[in-house]
A = this chain, B = another copy of it.
């Protein structure tokens, strides 16, 4: 018998138990050995759960039970989760998790502890929910130099943007709908400000480039400033607005990483990713572009990834799964986004907007102006050429003395 414990009986935890127990027979067959969930650790009791008899409240029971080989940490956060994970790994117990905040903050340290204690720390569920991405990136694409990873990594913001694009809901109405449907939390900050997507792109970048990328070093902006006017201008120019996380290797060996809304051409596969779905494009020097698509969150999709990791740990218990990265000085490794280049969509407001065009051309170079029906005379929307972020920013600062910068969105690709 191979025994597993689950820490946290919330949405992902209960999904993990449900899926594991539902498919326990076929999982045991795959492993060639019976397996079971022995403990579920939570502060609460669940007297009506079919697994009420497995609920415990004391972490040490798990830590000190030699029968427990694998633990699923699905409690979230970086306090208890960090302490528990560290102590379990130090005891040689493998830990699998959906906890992107912890992996993004402490991945290098925890992976090192796992390696030193001959066990595994796996986190397929931390990025893209149920979408297989961690293992494909590390294993299937191991023969490639990874040139770039870009993706729609947050289902909440993609739902909001989809509703704005398809149903012309305003940002705040779309957010309210997301909250009503349970896709957004009461405090939606981490989603709508891009922090959640940022953790995920840090994890993918760390895996692809072998060194820990910390969220604090990644420029991150959210979608709260996007209006229906911007959505319409974007559409008229052949684009949709998506929140994109990207990480890429530079020629000098450093990486650039950024999370921000972007105008994505309508014929790009990422443009067709709607509602709470996620999609990640990986570009390798051998494989070219590959795309992974599916439900990026939710009880059972996330549980699918957690259970997949549990099975992998049980299979490889005498030899840990080789996935990981080293710690590193991000000051030297992660380039400041201002050194990178981009084209951008800009919307400005100024009383003499029409008369500013020649000054704008002098400032930015050749601009592509976009129209929309009912465009006010005091509004201009245009797409700049590709330019250094630093130059773009300083141009916009200068421009802000004679016009209101109503919106700026980078172009994807």
Where the two chains meet, the residues of A that have a C-beta atom closer than 8 Å to any C-beta of B are: 15, 19-20, 22-23, 26-27, 29-30, 124, 130-132, 134-136, 139-145, 210, 269, 272, 284-295, 298, 300-301, 303-308, 310-312, 315-316, 318-319, 322
Contacts and interface: CB of A to CB of B under 8 A. Distances in A.
Contacts of A269: 269, 272, 293
A124 B285 CA distance: 18
6 contacts: A15-B286, A30-B142, A130-B288, A132-B292, A142-B311, A287-B301
A307 B135 contact: no
Given A136-B135, A269-B272, A286 B312 contact: no
Nearest to A267: B272
B312 A287 contact: no
B272 A286 contact: no
Give 9 nearest A-B pairs by CB, closest first. A143-B307, A132-B140, A290-B294, A286-B304, A132-B136, A130-B287, A287-B304, A291-B293, A142-B311
A134 B300 CA distance: 22
A143 B20 contact: yes
A308 B143 contact: yes
A408 B285 CA distance: 42
Contacts of A318: 319
Query: Considering residues A26, A290, A293, which has the most beta carbons from chain B within 10 angstroms of its beta carbon?
Result: A290
A141 B293 contact: no
B284 A304 contact: yes
Nearest to A300: B286
A272 to B, nearest CB: 6
Copies of this chain: 2
Query: Considering residues A30, A143, A306, which has the most beta carbons from chain B within 10 angstroms of its beta carbon?
Result: A143
Contacts of A322: 315
A30 B269 CA distance: 31
Contacts of A310: 143
Given A23-B286, A135-B136, A286-B300, 13 more contacts: A23-B143, A23-B145, A139-B311, A141-B304, A142-B308, A143-B310, A144-B307, A269-B269, A269-B293, A286-B301, A288-B295, A289-B295, A318-B319
A304 to B, nearest CB: 4
Contacts of A134: 140
Query: Considering residues A124, A132, A291, A307, which has the most beta carbons from chain B within 10 angstroms of its beta carbon?
Result: A132
A10 B285 CA distance: 20
A19 B286 contact: yes
Nearest to A286: B304
Contacts of A284: 130, 304
Contacts of A307: 142-144, 286
Contact of A288 (B22, B294, B312): B294
A292 B143 CA distance: 18
Contacts of A294: 287-291
A144 B293 contact: no
Query: Considering residues A27, A139, A295, which has the most beta carbons from chain B within 10 angstroms of its beta carbon?
Result: A139
Contacts of A23: 143-145, 285-286
Nearest to A294: B290
Contacts of A15: 286
Contact of A143 (B19, B210, B315): B19
B293 A290 contact: yes
B135 A308 contact: no
A288 B300 contact: yes
Contacts of A312: 139, 142
A308 B22 CA distance: 33
A316 B322 CA distance: 10
Nearest to A20: B143
B290 A142 contact: no
Nearest to A24: B143
A175 to B, nearest CB: 24
